[in-house]
Chain A
Amino acid sequence: QVQLQESGPGLVKPSQTLSLTCTVSGDSISNWSYYWNWIRQPAGKPLEWIGRIYASGRITYNPSLMSRVSISGDTAKNQFSLRLTSVTATDTAVYYCARDRGDDDTVVLDYWGQGAQVTVSS
């Protein structure tokens, strides 16, 4: 059974950096069959794809966030992480990590973490 669990601070001050980690069990982020994604959902709004990392180390970002976002992986801990710099109130959202059964050209999110609420406020 694949499980993903987000962790990190629930409150971040404006202009600071949001950092979240996704711990994966039941699968390996080194598995060449899958990609590992971050998605967010502001309250009452649609889901927004942030980016993903592949076993090869290849990373793809949403262009709308590319200047502020970075995703990295730690194969020893079977975790992957999200950093979002210079946050503002508009970055307040539930952040999800998810496994992606797609390929180089598609994103299909088949297993999700439960989500982590992150609020940006002073």
Chain B
Amino acid sequence: DIQMTQSPSSVSASVGDKVTITCRAHQGVSRWLAWYQQKPGKAPYLLIYAASILHSGVPSRFSGSGSGTDFTLTISSLQPEDFATYYCQQTNIFPPTFGPGTRVDIK
């Protein structure tokens, strides 16, 4: 299985801050990477797929980049509803695997 790692494991930020989360795959996955947002007690919500394509309805303050083994999720201006845990997932090498998550909480 492809191991996924994320950094940082948690970040404290304020409304309006720019937040960057990184994800690393232990072998190359081209651009086959997705990002999900999960709030406590809720199901994950797809934000981005194919490394940089925004899922329908996702605000443009979210963006993704990267290819191969290194990927980034950026929130350009953090909003109150963005405090959550974010997971990356490699999508094309079976079985698909998820990162351990990055929690974004209020400073």
* Interface of A toward B, CB cutoff 8 Å: 46-49, 60, 62-64, 96, 98, 101-102, 105-110, 112-115
Contacts and interface: CB of A to CB of B under 8 A. Distances in A.
Nearest to B45: A112
B32 interface: yes
Nearest to A63: B95
Contacts of A62: 95
Interface of B: 1, 32, 34, 36, 42-46, 49-50, 55, 87, 89, 91-92, 94-101
Nearest to A62: B95
B98 A46 contact: yes
Contacts of B91: 102, 106-108
A60 B100 contact: no
B92 to A, nearest CB: 5
Contact of B55 (A98, A107, A110): A110
A107 B29 CA distance: 13
Nearest to B98: A47
Contact of A109 (B46, B95, B97): B46
A60 B94 contact: yes
B15 to A, nearest CB: 27
B98 to A, nearest CB: 4
B96 A107 contact: yes
A43 to B, nearest CB: 12
A60 B91 CA distance: 14
B44 A47 contact: yes
B93 to A, nearest CB: 9
Contact of A46 (B34, B42, B92, B101): B101
A46 B46 contact: no
Given A46-B100, A62-B95, A110-B55, 18 more contacts: A46-B87, A46-B98, A46-B99, A49-B95, A49-B98, A63-B95, A64-B95, A96-B43, A98-B43, A106-B32, A106-B91, A108-B46, A109-B34, A109-B36, A110-B46, A112-B45, A114-B42, A115-B43
Nearest to B42: A114
Q: Which 9 pairs of residues, A with B, have the shortest CB-CB distance?
A: A112-B43, A62-B95, A47-B98, A107-B96, A106-B91, A108-B49, A106-B92, A46-B98, A49-B96
